[in-house]
Structure 1
Amino acid sequence: MDLELPEELRLLQSSVRKFVDETLAPHEKEVEEKDEIPRSLIAAMGESGLFGIGHDEKWGGQGFGKLGYCVAVEQAGRVNASFWNVVGATSGLCGTAIELGGPDAVRERYLPDLFSGRKVGAYALSEPGAGSDAGNLKTQAKRDGDAYVIDGAKTFITNAPIADVFVIFANTDPSKGNKGITAFVVERGTKGLEIGKNDEKMGLHGSTTAQLYFHTMRVPGSQRVGDEGQGFKIALGTLDMGRLGLAAHSVGIAQRLLDASAQYAKSRVQFGKPIATNQAIQWMLADAATEIHAARLMVYDASARADKGERITQRAAMAKLFATEMLGRVADNAVQVHGGMGYMRELWIERAYRDARITRIYEGTSEVQRMVIAGALLENT
């Protein structure tokens, strides 16, 4: 088995890293303090091709497959996590749902703008009473002639305050449970769509989230994504890719934390010698390096299988579970290695520590990932 990345993906890796280091990194502190990413930087990410990596060129994507997508996402982890959140919610979730569900008319209408960054997207699945239990949606879409009338609410929707396009999930037949869930594309400014205020969060400052409210919102049938009742299937397929991207991003953030910790440990002198000479510090670094390597291989394996057309639900859940739990441990040890300075806002370490915590919650909690993994195991034995 050849575990080396092909030349085209190594070139992609270096070009994304260069863009992140030169264009995004100088602004990460500003984004953290203002809790906002300038639209000019979102446009720059679009012009660089970041929104389209991993998506079909037929719909305006950059190609490179899901392995290429994960290679790029990992490099994006070298900077404030909120930058990739904008891309991930736009193309990784909103765009993927449209790409998976179709039809072609909807794909043609929205994907080129989403995959170029000209429009920002949002993915509206979670509700106040249906977070982990995503199949128990209360938002309803009632058929009215050639349109649907939607009432309900969504919560914790990434990009909602700045999004131009929303993929929303509603139940067209509650008696069928999750088999009644249907997906729709809704544009900002649609009558009956209300966007709440930007949520105040522990971390991910710069990545905006808000609640959505639907007040007798009329949506033409031509805006439906996939067939009636196919929404839950589309949502789960989208989350497979989203979880894979989140795992790759966690690997990138963890690698940056490890690099910073190793460098600091070699330069910080206590008791007349660098703290890196202490076995306690060395073991933290060794454990981090080992877990990062393992997580990276899990991500590469799952994404390569996705490119071959294999179903990766279980592997995506494994990668997401392991990589995000690993990131939590690496971030905690990075603060420990940096000591008091790791707790100060003067360094980016404390921000990464706060940002890391959400990775074990969104796009399926660690507990949900274990349910998915166990369910697949029991089904196949």
Structure 2
Amino acid sequence: MSESKHEHHQHSHKWEDGESHNLQHGHECKCENCHRPEHRNENTSQENASKKVCAPDQEPGIFSEKYELVLSQESSLLPVQEALLRWVGEILQWVKNKQGFVGHIKGFIEGKEHFWFSSTGKAVTAKSSSGWNEGLDQTFTINATAIIFGIRKEELDEYAEQCLETCIAEQCPDSTLVQIDLLCSLAKSLGAAHAALIAVDSIKFNHDFRKQCEQNTCGSYDKNWMCPPNMPSIDELRDKVLPYDRGLLFQTVYQLKNSFDWRGVQQAVVEHTQVFRKVLAELRSMKNFLNLLPLNVGPCTYCGRCSFLDGEECRFPEEAIPSVEAYGIDVMALEKSCGMPYYNGKDTVSCVSLILFRF
């Protein structure tokens, strides 16, 4: 897997200040979830156990803090899920082979499934309301936290990076498909509330939307290069859309003071556009796509004042973005087709963008 593909997998390694203490002969350990036989006390209930974590005697510079593997991977692909679980297990087995000490590891899946790793590094179920196997074919986010001692921080981090690349490559030979499957996680990590991949043939076009533009509710009709009547016809735009393979649809949600909070709506569009630009920049940096067709919410605001008003050509044609509505795309129908909520509660405004891509 190339570096450009690897860097977009939404994972992180974090070291947080953790408490540790060296055990001395004759001292009783009350570590939470401690797995060392010599540190267990059958008479000590978990309710009374200390939240401190025990550590063997450490040499200077040896890592003895909390190591958190945060995998914000929302994937519906079974190979991706298997690769992520294998990744955590491989790290734990590597720590054991290095004669390190894993204090405990706990996992969490979508608020329902809990898992832990056995001494062999394999994932097993600790709790499950729906069953581990039944949950594996669903989209989920996996988070794991481990307490690790006796390993140098730099060495562990380097191995974790290499190991993730290996696990993804071996479990998921089609790295392009994996990359696409992780786009929703990418959009959410950059600020989107909801995200979904859509098929281009699910897009519905409505000529009546062009009539709504003519009513000039937003005040940009015939004042912006990316707004009607300076746009091709709906049929021409439809022909431009259809050759694309798929699209990333994402939505942000903002709270308003009340239903008349027009300034709040305007600010929501500004903040959504910032999210949109971040997502677009990430997709442009990837090597997977031949072409991208980005569509945002509302008129293009890249220049502040559009050069159309001064009778000049567009100053930044590569950055000029039309709206989804200007293309005549039925946003509500598209959201419903992928299970995305159109209404997100009283006194809220939802903004939607669509980035089409072609391999």
Q: TM-score, normalised by structure 1?
A: 0.28
In terms of Rg, which structure is larger? 2
Q: Which is richer in strand?
A: 2
Q: Which is richer in helix?
A: 1
Q: TM-score, normalised by structure 2?
A: 0.29
